[in-house]
Structure 1
Amino acid sequence: MSDTTHQPARKERNAWYEADARLKRRHAADRRLRFYGAMAIIFALGMLATLISTILITAAPAVTQTMVTFDVDVPADAVDPSNPGGAPYQQMLNAAIAKIFPDVDTPREQRQLRQLFSNGAQYQLRDQILADPSVIGSTITITFPLSDIGDQLHKGQIDRNLPSNMRRVSDEQIAWYDVLIERGMISSPLNWGLFLNADSRSPELAGLRGALIGSFYALLVCFLVSFPVGIAAAVYLEEFAPKNRWTDLIEVNINNLAAVPSIVFGLLGLAVFLNFFGMPRSAPIVGGLVLSLMTLPTIIIATRAALKAVPPSIREAAIGVGASKMQTVGHHVLPLAMPGILTGTIIGLAQALGETAPLLLIGMNAFITAAPESMFNASTALPTQIYIWADSPERGFTSRTSAAIIVLLGFLICMNAIAIYMRKRFERRW
């Protein structure tokens, strides 16, 4: 009798224990999932911090530039006032260096001594004299960069304690560098030349000016082409196009184009703009057109999504008061969708700014020593300039490559921040 009475109670207790065990297992699984998610985020943040810190540490030497300052005699008989550009500026520099190191008299030592100074010093001296011809016949003070090996020696990137056969500088060059330090002729100002100079074979003279201007022109062309064309295409497909198999085919192709590798657009630009239309090679106008082809699908998709986000009641209210379809779209729907459209456009332009493959195929990786004066002149862009410097054998380009990467990342972060701000600033909740 007692067994019959207590049997339901035992079943209830067993069922309660089983339910409690299942609940504990679910809670344990939930805790494990949250732990795995947190560990994944921490790992991702750690890898990102490692990447950024590595780039920053590598780029730190490029923040400053080692400069040397000394006096140079400008003989009146050596410079023709009617043709000052043809004067022997390198000989003037050699004479000034010889005054500082009078004991250096053998050709081998003289060559090693000149290796400490930048090859661009003669052109800087020329520009200084051309800017003020009144200095002819007097002594002027000139400040110019040390060479790549002198710059690395000053920044501690060359270990002077190593044997001479294991470092790039000789014992004599280290001794001459120490003399310059003792006389107070060496300084390390901020490296504004990184932004003000164009590209150069010498790391101490290389800068990003040409690449920055080239990227600006390319993005300007990309925006002027892709923004109106992308909005017009999206408005037509979303608001006016009939729903049939042809528009469905167009929509599928647009979605597929957004996933096409960028190098395919570079091949298209090479075949169409350069080979067929004969447009100038390495010009930002061609780069901008290629980038606009790549950006168009992104802008069209973002614009259509912004148009779909506008409530149908807006359209119905406009049509109800007598507005035409064109007036409804132009006066009501499009202005309300513009924040989302601008956000998608900025994100598309940010993606275009970081593209390298299509620009390489149209020749925007050429060695250009002058900044472009227009979008039709040969130029490089920030991604291709990074590619060129990363492929250079000189060690001085290593820090400049990382510095250029930071500049590019800075532009990308700013563009994405603007997109986020515009979305938050003009976002409407329905």
Structure 2
Amino acid sequence: MHISAHLDLDVVALETDSELAVLIELAAPSAPASATVRAASTLQVVLDRSGSMTGARIDGAKAALIGLVDKLDPSDNFGLVAFDDRVEVTVAAGPLTDKEAVKRAIGQLSARGSTDLSAGYLRGLQEAGRVAGATGATVLLISDGHANAGVTDPDRLGGIAAKANTDNITTSTLGYGLGYDERLMSAIACGGSGNELFAEEPDTAGALIADEVDGLLSQTAQAASLLINVAPQVRAVHVVNDLPVTTSNDGLLVELGSFYADETRKVLLTFDVPAIAALGLAQIASLRFTWVELPGLTQHTVTVPLHVNVVPGDQAAEGIPDPTVRTELVYLHLQQAKRRASGHLSSGAPTAALTEIRNAQAALAETLPTAPPHLREDLAEEAAALAYLADQTENGMIARAAKYSSMDAAYKSGKRGRVRPPSSEPN
């Protein structure tokens, strides 16, 4: 893993309060030179089979699952839990030694009943944990409806996903259609350090399921985390990205999840630094990165110290902020605005959502003229996404706007730098 850290300002004024932003860039290892070398993977699918999945939705999901079974090796673990108001272990998690039997079991599924999502998800986690080895497991939760039985609180389910993630079980979610609860699916994906996906049509859902498997099979790093240990003089640190964060005795622990081969990610931190009374180099934090490299399962730890130079006020005034770091900060604030807009849309407040979107468009327009050239493509794509959200909201397509906004913000913040599948782009 290649790691670099860039401060927006490398000097601060003596005896003056400061806020510093730090952009961390991470590049995952490449795939092994030999295409035959790959650690065995574990994929546990949790599929909603409630009555609303009848017809093209359940048929499309089954076709996609049969296709992914063909992509996996016999040594890979695969399991399938199907749920409605009951939970059924359709395929017990284990090696794919009999693919034809697994595909027959998938093909026999039919839609029925109501939606006890929590029971299905918890059973899926049990199955994943039962067979996951040193390489951990990925759970893919697919649902098209609002959970109407069992645990339905997003925070509780997100906490369950976060707990599983500490045991190296990642959870991704695929919301199917326009009737699912994006707040719940988003909370689970964020807590589980996975992808948050949205498919309105069966073909899109099938493509996204295939993309998720391709990502799983191309992983070169797992269980990545960042431990932030701040210096005594620092008042506060904030993780701007939408990532799972917990406080430990050693500092602030940020879960980064798994990395695909050659994937790049960006994480942005801000530090509230009170007035420093001594001139010279001052350490504000140390960043400790830990990850497990595949296929060798070798754990790596790298520590990166962060220093700033304390200078007289007149010298600090001549400092020029790093435009890349400052533009990245604006970009992530735009994702926060979209997350808030999604919340307003989900709660039936489209006017408030549109205000968030318009404010984000204004901030983007202000940033564009001074943005570094290498970030202008990202900003242009962001302008298109905001225009799409504004159009959908103004035309009453509230459910679509809420779901797209949530998914788009998740990719661009929690997985900032990861390339989103083309099949998840707006129509």
Which bracket does the TM-score occupy, shorter chain normalised? under 0.3
Over alpha carbons, which structure has the higher Rg? 1
**Larger % of strand: which?**
2
With normalisation by structure 1, the TM-score equals 0.24
With normalisation by structure 2, the TM-score equals 0.24
